[in-house]
Amino acid sequence: MTNLIFESMNIEAKKKLKSVFGYDNFRDQQEVIIDNVLAKKDSIVLMPTGGGKSICFQIPALLFENLTLVISPLISLMKDQVDALKTNGINAAFFNSSVNELEKNKIISDAKSGNLKLLYLSPETLLPAMNSWINDLSISLIAIDEAHCVSMWGHDFRPEYTQLKSLRAKLSHIPFIALTATADKITRKDIEEHLGLIHPTTFLSSFDRPNLNLEVRGNIPKQKKNDQILDFIEAREGKSGIIYCLSRKETEEWAQILNDNNVKANYYHAGLTSDERDKIQTSFINDETPIMCATIAFGMGIDKSNVRWVIHSNLPKNIEGYYQEIGRAGRDSLASDTLLYYNYRDVKLLSDFAKESEHSSVMLEKLNRMLEYAEATTCRRKILLAYFSEVLPENCGNCDVCRNPSSTFEGTILAQKALSAIKRAEEKAGNNSIIDILRGAKTTEMFSKGYHELKTFGIGADLNSQQWLFYLTQMKNIGLIEIAYDDNMHLKISPFGEKVLFGKLQIQLAHYLEKEKLSKKSKSQKQPSSLSPDELLFDRLKLLRRKISNEANVPAYIVFSDATLTQMSAEKPTTENEMLAIQGIGLQKYISYGQDFIDLIKLFIKESGPKKSTFEETYDLIQQGLLVNDIAEIRNISVTTVYSHLAKLMQEGYPVQFSVYVNDSDFEKVKAILPTIEDTTALKPIFEALNGTVEYGVIRLSLTFINM
């Protein structure tokens, strides 16, 4: 691919993002990932739930000439993504066990004739077809979703995924992109090796989900736990949520408890028939049943963006699973709550399960890490990110530990002692051995391995074993130390730990005696019953969305996400351009639904009576000397929306200094291109004629200035 062709495709990618998906800008790493795919190179993408993984292969699929195959183990996700693509005007289909033979034949015919841009298949469906009709397809790209399923170390291993390596060998000239939301270092290595990827570039996005509030409550008596959960749900009346349970019986018990307390809920587990599970899942997706009580089998592949809370009634078996399950809340980036309950009965039960597994030592160590998270004295978000090899410099302020912090001390020297012991043991020792080295324990292992001759032998004899275990756990939790699950659980020093070891960084540690402070819990605050005008409009927009989704037979969030409705209720767009400036509204969605929402907003404004407009609120900030990005951040609106406000204010005679917001170069570009544009009232033709080099907001403001 020549540089000129590649540059052209890159510009087209930005255009598709706006015109098809309705977004002004790519999110974290999406653009560089798409560039790599368009350059026909293999990619491994690790991006948190809700981070926008699908865009990374859907936009290249629209730009490549031929078909994109998407391999996914999740039938429900296939349907959701295909419905969403069709809503955006894209030809797509899914091919799996839920499709009848007549439909399958049509899909195969459409795929062969080039009528499809994306075809979703399960690995079980793909593998038998690899020597038949798959050979007749012209394919441009292979996307493998939930790629962690290829690793036996992962939390959701699927043997069929290991056979996809033969597909990579067969289609060596076609780029592959493997995507997952949860993979530690060992799983990432397996993804590259077991899928046979060719010199892949790994893109590791931040695993931080700052919109998720993290809270843990331990060893709560059953009745008190029930009361707390009922209070928690009552404080979030009408909000969608999931309660995860260890057993099928417990899911049914929780559904009964909630319904007995006039809270509509249902249960979901593997003991139900396939039809029952589909019906229950659909009712949840369509907001008919707001709360689901389920085993961890529920939620995989659900792209429902408006889940506002997730409760774990029991301790999860590992951090990967826990992270993925809480990730089902707040996929629209709005504030959401997570609450984890645990007791030592959970630990015993899960330990018994782990001991029976094929990789019992690894499963037990991962369970232990999960328990260390639950009992932590350090910021919980730091622990989750450290598990995925990411360092969070500051405490998050949005977890129960940050709200009730333990007192800390300057722990750099103590940490350096432990890190030095790990380093001198050549990173070939586990937890217990490192503690014995630090304490100078005279054990057989210390003498047989020569550890007694290390300079660090006995350097930490002033602390007992429990104290060192406590501090080593903290060091793992904040990311100084990693566990090598594929190397006998030996402790390894992370790059962050190296900086501490060599005195480049200092750290704080929580005091050992303050561990009991973890029993303190922040109480849920009930929300006030009175709603603001924006909240009232949001509720009315949701009702309209429900009506449209029922008529179209698609989930409500496929029409518009909660985040889009939230921005709509704040901005109150009443024209086509204003509606298209709302994030998540592409041209096809505006054509399908936009006018209905505009009509509702106009009626709401008329009923609400006079008040300070959203434009005037922006003008108040302009008078304070704030620039566009600052105003967008303060008002929680998009930069494009701020520009539309500036245009409106200029039209109405407010003293807006045009030159502050549009530089001379961009203005001259817009002015020069206008004679070549047939319709100069629309922004999209100008944006495309300028090859995306001038933002929509700048174009809007320039046109306003020219026409004044």
As a whole number, mean pLDDT of residues 180-191 equals 82
C-alpha 92/C-alpha 80 separation (Å) is 11
The residue-averaged pLDDT of 93-112 equals: 89
pLDDT of 528 > 50? The answer is: no
Distance of CA 61 to the CA centre of its chain: 22
Spatial distance between the Cα atoms of 406 and 176, rounded to a whole number of angstroms: 47
The residue-averaged pLDDT of 553-562 equals 85
pLDDT greater than 80 at residue 214: yes
pLDDT tens for each residue of 267-292: 998 888 878 888 888 888 888 899 99
The DSSP call for residue 456 is: T
Q: List, for residues 65-99, the tens digit of each pLDDT value.
A: 999 999 988 777 788 889 889 999 999 999 887 78
The per-residue pLDDT for range 234-254, each reduced to its tens digit, is 999 889 999 999 889 999 999
Measure the CA angle with vertex 636, ends 308 and 650; round to 5°.
145
The band of 573, judged by pLDDT with boundaries at 50, 70 and 90, is very high
Distance of CA 165 to CAs 44, 127, 161, 519, 553, Å?
14, 11, 8, 48, 37
Residue bearing the bigger pLDDT, 662 or 230: 230
Cα-to-chain-centroid distance, residue 266? 25
Mapping DSSP onto H, E and C, the string for 586-640 reads CHHHHHHHHHHHHHHHHHHHHHHCCCCCHHHHHHHHHCCCCCHHHHHHHHCCCHH
> What is the spatial distance between Cα 330 and Cα 107, in angstroms, rounded to a whole number?
34
Helix (H) or strand (E) holding 483: strand 481-484
Report the half-sphere exposure of 52 (CA within 13 A, side-chain side).
21
Q: Are 126 and 96 in contact (CB under 8 A)?
A: no
How far is 560 from 583, CA to CA, in rounded Å? 10
Q: Which two tokens stand for residue 523?
A: 């109480």
Cβ neighbors of 556 (< 8 A, separation 6 or more) are 286, 287, 306, 542, 545, 546, 549
Two tokens, residue 22 = 């309705």
Q: pLDDT tens-digit profile of 22-57?
A: 888 888 789 999 999 999 999 999 987 777 889 999
How high is the pLDDT of residue 251?
Answer: 94
255 pLDDT above the threshold of 90: yes
By DSSP bridging, strand 336-342 and strand 408-410 are: unpaired
Nearest to 631 by CA among 334, 643, 564: 643
Residue 179 parent element (H or E): strand 176-180
Three-class DSSP labels, 244-278: ECCCHHHHHHHHHHHHHCCCCEEEECCCCCHHHHH
- Residue 68: in which H helix or E strand, if any? strand 67-71
Residue 499 pLDDT class (50, 70, 90 cuts): very high
How many other C-beta atoms are found inside a 10 Å radius of the C-beta of residue 478? 27
CA 249 from chain center: how many Å?
Answer: 30
CB 322 within 8 A of CB 255: no
Q: What was the pLDDT predicted at 514? A: 45
Q: What is the mean pLDDT of the chain?
A: 86
Q: Virtual CA dihedral for 317, 76, 270, 357, nearest 10 degrees?
A: -40
Residue 249 CA: distances (Å) to CA of 104, 253, 271, 316, 591: 38, 6, 10, 17, 47
The pLDDT, as a whole number, for residue 531 is: 67
373 is written with which tokens?
Answer: 């998270």
pLDDT at 264: 93
Predicted confidence (pLDDT) per residue in 114-171, tens digit = 999 999 998 888 888 888 898 889 999 999 998 888 887 655 678 888 888 888 888 8
Amino acid, single-letter form, for residue 100: N
Half-sphere exposure (CA, 13 Å, Cβ side) for 466?
4
Cβ atoms within 10 Å, residue 485? 20
In terms of Cβ atoms closer than 10 Å to its own Cβ (0-12, 13-18, 19+), residue 445 is: middle
Predicted pLDDT of residue 5: 55
* Rounded CA separation 263/238 (Å): 9
pLDDT higher at 300 or 681: 681
Q: Output 632 or 417, whichever has higher pLDDT.
A: 417
Tokens standing for residue 90: 């894209």
Residue 229 sits at φ, ψ, to 5 deg, of -65, -40
Structural domains in the chain, CATH included, are: 3-204 (3.40.50.300), 212-375 (3.40.50.300), 408-519 (1.10.10.10), 539-707 (no CATH)
pLDDT at 693: 87
The two tokens of residue 307 are 């889940």
Q: What percentage of residues in the chain have a pLDDT greater than 70?
A: 94
Judge whether 18 and 44 are in contact, CB under 8 Å.
Answer: no
Using the predicted structure, report yes or no on whether residue 680 has a pLDDT greater than 80: no
Beta bridge partner(s), residue 410 = 508
